Amino acid sequence: MSKYNEVFNRSISDPEGFWAEAAEGITWYRRWDKVLDSSNAPMYRWFAGGELNTCYNALDRHVEAGRGDQTALIYDSPVTKKIKKFTYKELQKEVALFAGALRGLGVSKGDTCIIYMPMIPQAVVAMLACARLGAVHSVVFGGFAPHELAIRIDDANPKVIISASSAIEVTRLIEYKPLLDKAIELANHKPQKCVIFQRDEVRATMMEGRDHDWAELIAKAIPAECVPVKATDPLYILYTSGTTGIPKGVVRDNGGHAVALHWSMKNIYDTQAGDVFWAASDVGWVVGHSYIVYAPLFAGCTTVLYEGKSVGTPDPGAFWRVISQHGVKTLFTAPTAFRAIKKEDPNGDYIKKYDLSDFKYLFLAGERTDPDTYHWANNLLGKPVIDHWWQTETGWPITANCLGIEMMPVKAGSSTKPVPGYDVKVLDSDGNKVEAGKEGVIAIKLPLPPGTLPTLWNADERFIKSYMDVFKGYYFTSDGGYIDEDGYVFIMGRVDDVINVAGHRLSTGEMEEIVATHPKIAECAVIGAADSLKGQLPVGLVVLKSGVDGDINQIKAELVKMVRGQIGPIACFKSVAVVNRLPKTRSGKILRGTMRKIADSEEYRAPSTIDDPAALTEIETALREIGYAKKQS
């Protein structure tokens, strides 16, 4: 039996024994009473009764074990031309001081704090400081508009919001403080305090009494010790797009999270203490939480915090410069970042300029790695390129080539095999298992392994309904795909209204809700159309109210502005087509899937239940006019 099969089978046949062994990699104040508490299934709890502190496991224990002078964090910011390194000892000191500052503002165990920050070290410090106090952080990605931030403020009810004066998008300065002020104005819940880190590039105007300057607080703070929390206590909430405008607050616990992430570093990423690990993502996304901040630090690695892009900061050699300058062993990023490099440097001329001898593995996730991008990266780099599949909900990979167990042959287009702990199945719409090679929806047999979401914040019922009730005994992933005869998993895309734009998860349902509020719009649909750079882009199809006249381009521009204003620039909502009607079934269901196929020039067949087949021809013409449906059907 292969080593992978042996480890995988054990994880499924004896999950409690398997994860109890993995839990030895974590330092506990109190050992658990029960490895897996199934008494309230399908709400499972890992390591019930155990006590630990996540920040202690990320920092203090390494300092105590003699790793204090090793670099813990490298901040590399081509947009400000700064590089700053923090040893474990230095990071521990900064975090303890900021935790003390938060405590001084009244934050204690169980309180929530929102972090709305760019990719600067203070974002990492703020996350770890919350963990140190046992407070629950919720990081909101900086590309979200005030309206989105306000929704999260109202759901998380933060005691304190931590932010910075600005972000820098390549060369553009984006002031965060006015966005934060606007969000607080829009929200019903008003946080008592805000902490603002003033960047050199711009100083934010402070609100007397509410806003506190980061540096001033730190100057007088008393360092805080690590507060023991229960393994089952929440570490963070991370909001992610669902099918409606109300995001899902994915909860992560402390114990299962630490165990799973620590285990993953060795077994999936083949990484040891002292290695330099770089996840080129953003702390606002789950990849940033897990593999910029927590996992590399649990494992005693050096993590890289990169404030830049794969191109334009300053050129398509940016990633290779960082890898060679800091001795990066493992790079983890989204395929879209590689497609951007491929577009600007198709022959890999920039790769040749750098010494990449320390670089061993490239991991890709966030969307499917298309075979073209896989072959391009693999040929030019000559290193293993590993596609692995996961979701905000799981927090760590569901399928991967587990390099620390055994490297399996790579199949382009597949994210390889289920990671130990994940019993992945393909089901038909009735919940029956389908045969190898046949497409269906992907589900994971319960229980999920440690580190995956125990519930949604303040929404147990939504958690059960969205994930656990669809197929009894399974977690419903909302992804479709198949498993081939060799057990390789192929993820083909979402089966709901969630789309993936440049590795960012967005809800077309939410965009529709916004577009529908325009006074001149009678009806609308937003679909995700294929894009060679960003994977997918949203496209709006709108029907105007009868009698509406005026400048159609003006209406389109207003819609683009509304979505950008309410969700944010990362929605990339820029294409709108006006049609006389939307194609629907006789029962009134909008044929979004058929429209998506038309936009992507895929073959499609009008469903027998269609109300008016001519509507499809009209859609095709309208999409062609805005650059989609290029091939004649």
Radius of gyration of the chain (CA): 24
Residue 368 engages ligand AMP in binding (rule: CB under 6 A): yes
Nearer to ligand AMP, 100 or 247 (CB): 247
Whether the Cβ atoms of residue 474 and residue 427 lie closer than 8 Å to each other: yes
In the set 494, 556, 596, 597, which binds ligand AMP (CB under 6 A)? 494
For 540, how many CA atoms within 13 A lie in the half-sphere containing its CB?
31
Cα distance between residue 326 and residue 487, in whole Å? 37
Q: Which does 195 bind (CB under 5 to 8 A by kind): ligand AMP, ligand COA, none?
A: none
Whether the Cβ atoms of residue 306 and residue 337 lie closer than 8 Å to each other: no
Cα distance between residue 396 and residue 628, in whole Å? 35
DSSP 8-state class, residue 465: I
Nearer to ligand COA, 36 or 502 (CB): 502
Residue 366 engages ligand AMP in binding (rule: CB under 6 A): yes
Binning the chain into helix, strand and coil, the percentages to the nearest 5 are 35, 25, 40
Residue 88 engages ligand AMP in binding (rule: CB under 6 A): no
DSSP count for the chain of H helices, then E strands: 20, 31
Nearer to ligand COA, 52 or 501 (CB): 501
| Amino acid symbol at 221 | A
Q: Which does 566 bind (CB under 5 to 8 A by kind): ligand COA, ligand AMP, none?
A: none
Q: Which does 143 bind (CB under 5 to 8 A by kind): ligand COA, ligand AMP, none?
A: ligand COA
- For the bound state, the minimum distance from the C-beta of residue 502 to ligand COA, rounded and expressed in Å, comes to 3
**Binding footprint of ligand AMP, residue count (CB under 6 A):** 19
Which tokens hold the place of 388? 């692995």
In the set 92, 303, 330, 391, which binds ligand AMP (CB under 6 A)? 391
For 563, how many CA atoms within 13 A lie in the half-sphere containing its CB?
27
Q: Which does 569 bind (CB under 5 to 8 A by kind): ligand AMP, ligand COA, none?
A: ligand COA
- For the bound state, the minimum distance from the C-beta of residue 599 to ligand AMP, rounded and expressed in Å, comes to 18
Whether the Cβ atoms of residue 88 and residue 58 lie closer than 8 Å to each other: no
Name the one range near ligand AMP by CB under 6 A: 113-121, 382-390, 418-426, 531-539.
Answer: 382-390
> DSSP readout, 330-345?
EEEE-HHHHHHHHHH-
Whether the Cβ atoms of residue 577 and residue 587 lie closer than 8 Å to each other: no
- For the bound state, the minimum distance from the C-beta of residue 123 to ligand AMP, rounded and expressed in Å, comes to 18
Tally of CB atoms within 10 A around 190? 10
- For the bound state, the minimum distance from the C-beta of residue 282 to ligand COA, rounded and expressed in Å, comes to 6
Q: Which residues bind ligand COA (CB under 6 A)?
A: 142-143, 167, 169, 174, 281, 285, 287, 309-311, 333-334, 336-337, 340, 365-366, 502-503, 569-570, 572
Residue 283 engages ligand AMP in binding (rule: CB under 6 A): no
Torsion of CA 598, 561, 288, 222, to 10 degrees: -170
> Mask 324-363, x = binds ligand AMP (CB under 6 A)?
----------------------------------------
Tally of CB atoms within 10 A around 460? 13
- For the bound state, the minimum distance from the C-beta of residue 568 to ligand COA, rounded and expressed in Å, comes to 7
Cα distance between residue 145 and residue 183, in whole Å? 8
Q: Which does 391 bind (CB under 5 to 8 A by kind): ligand AMP, ligand COA, none?
A: ligand AMP
Instruction: State the residues that interact with ligand AMP by CB under 6 A.
Output: 240, 286, 365-368, 387-392, 415, 478-479, 491, 494, 500, 505
